[in-house]
Amino acid sequence: MAGFAAATLLLSACATGSAERALRAAAAPRSGPPPASSKASPTGPPASLGPTVAAVDVSNASGPQSETSVAVDPSNPRILLAGSNNIGTSTMRAYSSVDGGRTWTSRDDPPPPSRYRGYSSDPAVGIDDRGRQYFAFLQIVQEARGHLAYIFVASRTGAASNWTTPLQPISPHGANALDDKPTLTVDVGASSSRRGRVYVAWSRFGPSGKQLLLSSSDDGARTWSSPVVVVAGPSVSDASLAVSSDGDLYAAWLDRTAIWVARSTDGGRAFGPATLADIRTPGDLKCGNAFAVSIPAQPHRCVRPVPTVTVDRSTGSRGGRVYVTYANGGANLSEDVFVASFTRDLRPLTGYPTGGAAVQVNPPDGPSPSDQFLPAAAVDPSTGLLWVCFYDTGTDASRVTARFSCTDSADGGRTWAPVRPVASVPSNETRAGADTGKHGNEYGDYESVAAEGGFAHPVWTDGRSDGSSPLREEVFSATITAGPGG
């Protein structure tokens, strides 16, 4: 594939939509500049024990915001950082809370790199044990031979500081390559010799085909290691990272037919053999790639499995356990959410790899099918509680409206608490005025949840707006505690 043209790379990138969003952003009209800062107000009662949820409009910004990432400060669980796409603008959107998610600031941040002006996409955030915050994103720029995309990581010393975006991407490349969809994690392991290290993984399209690359920083994102190839193949994508308490690094990803996970014990220099998490049901031809399927709630952008690897860093009996959470086709051809669990050295414990049935997180459907899609997962390091959140169409027989919902497991993913909606009203991304259609982002490709100190903080794209105001798709958050039966 030598001489891979930038135009061809752009077409490939559209499978995950990042370059497509950039092209659309260039022509998208603005309904007025978003506010430099906004303070959200809870739209429900404050969070308390059990199922009570505080739903908060985090973004409060004009135009669509979609695709979310959230992190909690391991040294101060009241400090939260979140990020999202900011469709129709040239920047990402960054959100900060210092009161455990009750109120948020919302700004156009981080600043775009001065030498790579263009459009930003695909947020991934993290916080180290000293409170330093990180925001990875994809920067898409117009160059002589077409659009190219690069991975940047901005940082700041804490929630009250300004963001600094470096002049160069973490791994510069030529016109015959294109990067996509970063994911970020920070080593905060109590017994790790690499505590404080920041890891970023991403997909790269290039002359050698498609690769998942990994780079790390030990100096607060100032410099980065040369990238390591985690896996290469014609369709590898959608990387996820997690670090154990002793510093082992785990990566999960998709290929054309399956979901995989692998471990590195040397700080990401090399990974052991990939372990199968599940076989992926075939993608929908109308979605244009091998991963995605069209469902009534997201008919144009389609939905992906979104594999998420998490590790139990608690000191409990399941400390060190590894989970891979993902969406997949169910028995009635609707989407469901599943989890597979592994020992720290990736010996299968539950789920498809054990030779049995995949462990389904959401309850089985009744007479009518429903979809549970775009799952996010986190393990609370203080309790070992496993949280999984997702969109759920279960109350709509037409499968069009969905509410972001969460559940938790206290026994390593074997049984689950009743699914609780955290969105106070349903969303509808097929309504008039939604960011839908052939080039729309709808809910996007992924959402997020973080957990610490007995609380979980789901953050999601919410489409409750009727389109009558500048507010369209908004980023919402909630603060919740474990439900009965978890």
* Contacts by 329-332, CB closer than 8 A, 24 or more apart: 329/281, 329/293, 330/360, 330/365, 330/369, 332/365, 332/369
CATH fold group of domain 6-27+39-477: Neuraminidase (2.120.10)
Which residue carries 């920067």 as its tokens? 139
- At position 57, the amino acid (one-letter code) is D
Closest CA to 122 of 71, 172, 200, 180: 180
Q: How far is the C-alpha of 179 from the C-alpha of 13, rounded, in Å?
A: 8
Predicted TM-score (pTM) of this structure? 0.89
Q: How far is the C-alpha of 99 from the C-alpha of 75, rounded, in Å?
A: 14
Structure tokens at 288: 């244009």
CA atoms within 13 A on the CB side of 7: 2
CB 259 within 8 A of CB 278: yes
Q: Along the 486 residues of the chain, how does pLDDT read in single tens digits?
A: 333 233 333 333 333 444 333 323 333 332 332 333 333 333 333 333 333 457 899 999 988 999 999 999 999 999 999 999 999 888 999 999 999 999 999 999 999 998 888 999 999 999 999 999 999 999 998 776 678 899 999 999 999 999 999 999 999 988 888 999 999 999 999 999 999 999 999 999 888 789 999 999 999 999 999 999 999 987 899 999 999 999 999 999 999 889 999 999 999 999 999 999 999 888 887 787 777 999 999 999 999 999 999 999 999 999 999 999 999 998 888 999 999 999 999 999 999 999 878 999 999 998 999 999 999 999 999 999 999 999 999 999 999 999 999 999 999 999 999 999 999 999 999 988 888 877 788 999 999 999 999 999 999 999 886 665 667 899 999 999 987 665
In sequence order, the 6+-apart residues with CB closer than 8 A to the CB of 392 are 362, 370, 371, 372, 402, 403, 404, 405, 419, 421
Q: How far is the C-alpha of 83 from the C-alpha of 391, rounded, in Å?
A: 19
Helix axes of 18-27 and 6-13: crossing angle, nearest 10 degrees:
100
CB 68 within 8 A of CB 58: no
Which is it for strands 93-97 and 298-303: parallel, antiparallel or unpaired?
unpaired
